[in-house]
Amino acid sequence: MLAVEVIGQVLRRRRPLDDAFATHQGLRGLDARDRAFVRALASAVLRHLGYIDAVIAKLVREPIKARDAVAEDILRLGIAQLLVLETPPHAAVSATVALTVALNMAHMTGFVNALLRRVIDEQETVLAEIDRTRVAIPDWLWKSWVGTYGEPATQAIAASLRGEAALDLTLKDPATTDEWAQKLGAVVLPTGSLRVHDNHGRIDALPGFHEGAWWVQDAGAALPAKLLGPVTGMRVADLCAAPGGKTMQLAAAGAKVTALDRSAGRLRRVSENLARVGLVAETVADDAAFYRPPRPFDAILLDAPCSATGTARRHPDVLWLKQQGDIDAMVLAQDRLLDAAARMLTTGGTLVYCVCSLEPEEGPERITRFLARDRRFIRVPIRAAEVGGLTEMITPQGDLRTLPSHLAELGGIDGFYAARLRRVS
């Protein structure tokens, strides 16, 4: 029941899954295991929503009426149990029909029961005709990615989004990599992050959490801060800093960090994370577009707000919450932030701009336009050696571009774009 309510909040109220899950009153009384189970159910539906809805469309003559939207979500959950979670058919059908009654959709029980039984009967015939890779991505995103990366790469991206993302960790002290890899049973990725597979327990129960030896950060998200190079003793701004992974990287590398974010609440989380790992940074609650530092910074990392389409491995809801209009609004804010960051940087300083988006409008197009209007800056190409020797992550222009399908044999990586610029005059 709770999973259906969370799904409804995401798909109809257009709330991110994390927000819907964190604020649901009914989940607060559950223990950690039951909460994890509810989230697993909701995530399974959202991760495979394109396929699930294609199955419904294949078997239903007319769209389900808006007044029966709850029944549609119940049906989605039932199909996810049958086709994704491989729940025994009898258990999946009976539980789904019972849920239909419990959620005041009793008039739909016959419909739900009949359709689920057709899913079971026609799974290897009618439903086998569905191109599961193609329906996994909304049309507008598919067209964008094919136009940018080509169809084979887009198919590889879509395939990479089917599975749960592993747990990635960034170490406070990279010199202890082998030690913590052994303690955690982790794989050391070429980029330096530790990857823990099959972790289904509490994060704070893992070795090293309370010692502050590491923090959770996708391997893709850990790359942009490294592109600033040696930062010991330098004044570095981390703009749009929350939740603080990049701030901690820079502080651990010896920088004097100013972590700036317009959300005071999110900054408190940054401070809490810094305290746990024993690192120090100045935190400033302000809008980076209007902030004026007492004096220019030596280096700036701008992790700009974006559509976050590159994070769909971890946040499957993002594919269904975003639309082209969201991208159009984002680019205006990204331009303002780039211009503001340029004003904060000293001559000779380095600016790294990054977004966790796969959309060209939010990445290379923003840098092309910025360099055209601000002649004080030049692009400083990124070398493959800086990202673990992974040449496929370096664009012809010398920028960083990770795709979810990169490192596929190790479980993939979040999609990021980053460009490194230097102020020369």
Residue recorded with tokens 């991206």: 157
Quick check: 301 and 255 in contact, CB under 8 A?
no
Active site residue 356: yes
Cα–Cα distance for residue pair 282/228, rounded to 1 Å:
19
- Is there a contact between 273 and 323 (Cβ–Cβ < 8 Å)? no
Cβ atoms of 373 and 328 within 8 Å: the answer is no
Binding residues for S-adenosyl-L-methionine: 240-246, 261, 286, 303
Dihedral pair phi/psi, residue 215, rounded to 5°: -140, 160
Bridge partners (DSSP) of residue 216 are 169
Of residues 356, 367, 393, 413, which has the active-site annotation? 356
Q: Which residues are annotated as a binding site?
A: 240-246, 261, 286, 303
CA angle 355, 359, 365 (to 5 degrees): 80
Active-site annotation, residues: 356
